[in-house]
Amino acid sequence: MSKKKRNRGRPAGSFEDRLGKFAEDARIAARKLPPGRERDALMKKARQTETVMEVSEWLVPRK
């Protein structure tokens, strides 16, 4: 039995870029769904991610 190797590379893009992409993808996916729980959950994730982006801006000093 072989163990799966851990990916030790750096993620592509900054943390804020990845959060923005996730929020955008969640909104696009939600728009494709009919109204209901799954759509509401995706929209909630998008809003929460945008809130995290705002808090991150407050905490990370800009150069």
pTM, two decimal places: 0.75
Rounded-to-10 torsion of CA 43, 49, 55, 60: -160
> What average pLDDT does the chain have?
90
Angle (CA) 22 33 24, round 5°: 20
pLDDT of 32 above 70: yes
**Residue 63: HSE in the Cβ half-sphere, 13 Å Cα cutoff:** 0
Q: What is the DSSP letter of 32?
A: T
The whole-number pLDDT of residue 4 equals 82
Mean pLDDT of 11-20: 88
Domain ranges of the chain: 15-59
- Span 10-24, average pLDDT: 89
